[in-house]
Structure 1
Amino acid sequence: MSGCEVTEPRLRSVLPFEAAPAEVRLLRRAAASQLDRWGMSTAAGEAELLVTELATNVVKHVGEGASATLVIELRGERLRLEVHDKSRVLPSPNAADCYSECGRGLHLLAALAVDWGTVLTAAGKAVWCEILISPGRACRRMGRAVEALESYQGSRREARLQGSGSHIGLEESAVGLIADLLHWTAARGLDPDDILDRAQMQYEAEADAA
């Protein structure tokens, strides 16, 4: 994998890669190294997660071995990640309605990015997302939360195979997961209201410190 960096008029890095699992790992590390050189290591965890999903989407839906390019660009307080490939087939713009087709990649874009989208290009298409430059702890917590919700969402879907098959969004999954946790605390003789109060206090303390 080779790459080139352009620092004017804004920080920008272009990293060509081949759509293959081993190359995706190298691409993730290259993205983290680039952010570290720019002094934005706090955004590396979230960026690595999103770069992995964007690149893996090319492997799954364009084909292993396909040529693609990652573009990393700083735009004010936002970091933009773009993956370009040569397919002109666009993923569904509604990530919440295409879990079985698109996998978790679009869910992560919708959950972690402040904005994302797809666009046709002269050579194919680009899938892009933008994240705010924020503290690393918040990024890691968001990543863990999405993974937990998707796992919970999958178990709920399996339990409803005989139902209508309608999609359960991440927001509804969050409500269901919290409710199940409260049932668990009550079954162990704990006070669900106390657990909620303590969680709220911890969240507010960490948000104030961010």
Structure 2
Amino acid sequence: MADYDVSSELQLRYVLLFEAAPREMRRLRQEVVGLLERWELMPLVEEVQLVVTELATNVLHHVGLGAAATLILELRGGRFRVEVHDQSYAIPLATEAGCGAECGRGLHLIAALVAEWGTLLTSSGKAVWCELALPGYQFTSGVRRANDVLQTYQERRGRPLLFAVKAPTGLAQPAVELIADLLHWAAARGCDPDDLLDQAVVRYEGEAA
């Protein structure tokens, strides 16, 4: 695993709309895996999957089947934050659950896994949030450089970076546009775009190994 330095200003944010339904749970877990792989935070995948599933299940049980909800995942400083927003103002409580209880255990489980958790009221309902600590992780210099370049590129194009309803559109498209522009720039200066791509892949594979 790469070393991480999340003590600085690096911030990553991901937003996904979903529906409170059993069929959505698998999709949410898959989205978590893909996102944490891109952010190089795979050691957190089991905890984040579990937290996301529990929070989404709470919406299903306490707000209702088919309720609209929003998942927000955010990396900021030394914390990984998970938020689930719904349209109910009812605040969940971590009540005592008996041995045979089918409900009431989710918040206790979350509290045992995370550094902090809580709820907040919003203009349209509430958000249940929790934060996991990131002890000793450091982002590679390559990830940091890419984030900085993309941030500048998107600001100049008038669009925010790393904020999207769906990750492939929100995260991949700006990178593709930037790479294409760089290839045009290189070709205009007499360089071979294919050769540059080959060199970049070789370098990436070498650093990732």
TM-score (norm 1): 0.56
Residue 103 of structure 1 corresponds to which residue in structure 2? 104
After superposition, residues 107-186 of structure 1 pair within 5 angstroms as: 107-133=108-134
2:132 partner SS = strand
**RMSD, aligned α-carbons:** 2.1
Q: Deviations over 1:118-155 (max 9, x none)?
A: 010001000000012359xxxxxxxxxxxxxxxxxxxx
Q: Which runs of 4+ in 1 moved over 6 A?
A: none
Give 5+ residue unaligned stretches, structure 2. Answer: 1-8, 137-209
Q: Deviations over 1:143-184 (max 9, x none)?
A: xxxxxxxxxxxxxxxxxxxxxxxxxxxxxxxxxxxxxxxxxx
Tell me, in whole angstroms, the C-alpha distance in 1 between the residues paired with 2:83 and 2:103. 17
Are positions 1:23 and 2:20 aligned together? Answer: no
Residue 190 of structure 1 corresponds to which residue in structure 2? none
CA positional deviation for 1:104? 1.9
CA positional deviation for 1:56? 0.4
TM-score (norm 2): 0.56
Give 5+ residue unaligned stretches, structure 1. Answer: 1-7, 136-210
Query: Is the CA contact 2:91–2:126 (under 8 Å) kept in the aligned structure 1?
Result: yes
Read off the aligned partner of 2:72 and give its amino acid letter: V
CA positional deviation for 1:47? 0.3
Residue 81 of structure 2 corresponds to which residue in structure 1? 80
Share of identical aligned residues, percent? Answer: 56
Higher RCO (C-alpha 8 Å, min separation 6): 2
